[in-house]
Chains A and B, each alone.
Chain A
Amino acid sequence: MSKGFPETRTDAAMSELVPEPRPKPAVPMKPVSINSNLLGYIGIDTIIEQMRKKTMKTGFDFNIMVVGQSGLGKSTLVNTLFKSQVSRKASSWNREEKIPKTVEIKAIGHVIEEGGVKMKLTVIDTPGFGDQINNENCWEPIEKYINEQYEKFLKEEVNIARKKRIPDTRVHCCLYFISPTGHSLRPLDLEFMKHLSKVVNIIPVIAKADTMTLEEKSEFKQRVRKELEVNGIEFYPQKEFDEDLEDKTENDKIRQESMPFAVVGSDKEYQVNGKRVLGRKTPWGIIEVENLNHCEFALLRDFVIRTHLQDLKEVTHNIHYETYRAKRLNDNGGLPPGEGLLGSVLPPVPATPCPTAE
């Protein structure tokens, strides 16, 4: 993934205000291949280990947003994903839970540690989405929140005295919960994803998938994929950001066959074949959350956490954030926002690549 800013940044500010919709990630220079007659071992490959040690020391931020009608199991799923109570379930039947009249944004942060690596996880919940009789524009508070985080980051970035490590509250991943109707997407689903897929990484999931048989699941997924394509909605991983052939083949398979993931979440354990598993117990059988024959939770977990976590952050930073930033700079006449800057002198473009915010 590129670590530098596009070379044409200053030019864009001075030239005509033709905003580029999306700056393409800068392609690093192809390394000149040295004749591999290295005499002896240099140790370049230890950079991986050095990076790992640094990451372990500093830890990293990850912000995940969940959007969907109430009762689709959003909080349960996030708790299952991160194997801890990171999302407060509002589903206690006895409590007087009133559906909020407008969409609220609730961000809760937790520090999770695993194998010496610390992750500051923030789960952003959006209660009230899609629950009213009139849900027109109910995505606006969500779009506003996402843009506010970009704005916060931008303000920090243009400061003269910047923090060494800018706190990253930007939404790296938005899980959108589709109701398992078995027919197709609902108009609200389309509207939300149309508006937000250009602003944040959206990963659609089919919630409470234990109501669909295998055939129903596969038909539904096909229909949803087709509808998204017809409407020009690009969910993560977006085709245009595949870096190389390897990425493309891997992501193609995910895009065209697995997604949207049909998931089931649970925070209860049951005994199955002598093992304790997370699942749901019904009179006709026990649904095992991590059993790939039952649902695709394990696929979602591996995708979001084990293989694409870093990529989610990088696409957020290099694509979505850059788009926002370019638009803001263009709107401002090339000036970065905020006080504290004299005249229109921009800080010099650094010669060395800037470290990505972690």
Chain B
Amino acid sequence: SYTPAPLFAALNFLSHQRKWAQDKEYVGFAALPNQLHRKSVKKGFDFTLMVAGESGLGKSTLINSLFLTNLYEDRQVPEASARLTQTLTIERRGVEIEEGGIKVKLTLVDTPGFGDSVDCSDCWLPVVRFIEEQFEQYLRDESGLNRKNIQDSRVHCCLYFISPFGRGLRPLDVAFLRAVHEKVNIIPVIGKADALMPKETQALKQKIRDQLREEEINIYQFPECDSDEDEDFKRQDAEMKESIPFAVVGSCEVVRDGGNRPMRGRRYSWGTVEVENPHHCDFLNLRRMLVQTHLQDLKEVTHDVLYEGYRARCLQSLARPGARDRASRSKLSRQSATEIPLPMLPLAETEKLIREKDEELRRMQEMLEKMQAQMQQSQAPGEQSDAL
């Protein structure tokens, strides 16, 4: 039977750090990263992935292929006449995936209606607004009273689908990417890449890369691999980077070709495209880079770079109106954030938030009391240490 390769297990252990664990000569704090890693992974891993691009490029099929789910089962694609006056909507779908003891709460953000209408002017604005709203929410939570359980609903990555039928980026693609590139990590992919012959794929990729450069669009930069990696790994890493934008094919149908093992693919009269065959498409590369190695980095860049940028802009725009001297502006650090009126919220909403936070505080206090009571009852000698 068909068993897919483990997706998230890599989150648990960075392979090249295992060797430190076994050596008794060392003090052992080189294992610290693993401890931190495990702690955060035990909490569960949240990730929000946005998928954008015009309809019919295989987005839903690819997501289902990547995460081996059937998230879009009940989806209804409206007819053209219904889409004549459709406005862009933002849809969220959540799925919990557990693998190798790791729980991943994946949120998928979809943008049905994008690029569909006859007039698509400004159709990207709702998307930009959505991304900023998540930042806003996080900023508010971060500045709030209870910061232990902040829900991170920020968009960590946007997979942008480019048509294989065009001649590179279309005006709409450029407009969308320029509107969001400073706010979200963009990974461009070419959908339905089985429409292209190998030479066409290379030419299209080059054209897209040139256009991205010309239009000064910053896509997500996969970080340089560590210098202590072996040559093979470095070469593989370089090859993967060269293949951006990834030319992908998705499928959830399993095909059996003769005596070969069953695999996912698309069967045509002239042959079968294998989704996981690196000579057929970049699906494996995308999966490796997005899920297996860079999930955490995407979150970090979102937090350290994109969100910080948003936060700085936001707080600066607060500082501008009214006469504020340099000294007080420097006080706009995290500690004093609560003293500044939170931006962009009507009064009624603020009050509602305060009430909610109060409730949360009360609940937490109750829990604390319960835990204290439990601890007093149990006289357990010691807790299991995290053996490495």
Contact = CB atoms under 8 A, between A and B. Distances in A.
B258 to A, nearest CB: 14
Interface residues of A, number: 49
B211 to A, nearest CB: 12
A213 B81 contact: no
A136 interface: yes
Contact of A134 (B119, B207, B267): B119
Interface stretch (B90-98, B137-145, B168-176): B168-176
B330 to A, nearest CB: 43
B166 interface: yes
A112 B270 CA distance: 33
Q: Which among B56, B194, B273 has the greatest number of chain A C-beta atoms within 10 A? A: B56
Interface string B55-89: 11100000000000000000001011101100000
B192 interface: yes
Nearest to A224: B80
Interface in B228-271: 266-271
A180 B165 CA distance: 9
Q: Main SS of chain A's interface residues?
A: loop
A91 B270 CA distance: 25
Given A134-B121, A230-B81, A71 B167 contact: yes
B217 to A, nearest CB: 16
B127 interface: no
B269 A294 contact: yes
A210 B167 contact: no
Interface in A279-317: 280-288, 293-294
Contacts of A191: 84, 118
A231 B270 contact: no
Interface in A175-231: 179-191, 207-208, 210-211, 213-214, 223, 227, 230-231
Given A70-B166, A282-B197, A283-B280, A135 B119 contact: yes
Interface stretch (B36-44, B198-206, B350-358): B198-206
B48 interface: no
A97 B211 CA distance: 12
Given A181-B55, A181-B56, A211-B194, A284 B273 contact: yes
Contacts of A41: none
Contacts of B268: 210, 213, 284-285, 287, 294
Nearest to B194: A211
Contacts of A213: 266-268
Interface in A322-351: none
A207 B166 CA distance: 12
Contact of A133 (B121, B198, B271): B121
Contacts of B80: 184-187, 189-190, 227
A283 B279 contact: yes
B195 interface: yes
Given A181-B55, A187-B80, A133 B120 contact: yes
Interface string B183-201: 0000000001011011000
A114 B192 CA distance: 39
8 contacts: A70-B166, A70-B167, A71-B165, A71-B166, A93-B167, A187-B83, A213-B268, A285-B272
Interface of A: 69-73, 91, 93, 97, 99, 131-136, 179-191, 207-208, 210-211, 213-214, 223, 227, 230-231, 280-288, 293-294
**Lowest 9 CB-CB distances: which A-B pairs, in order?**
A181-B56, A285-B271, A285-B270, A284-B271, A93-B203, A185-B80, A71-B166, A211-B195, A134-B119
Given A183-B56, A211-B164, A294-B269, 8 more contacts: A71-B166, A97-B167, A133-B119, A133-B171, A184-B77, A190-B81, A191-B118, A285-B270
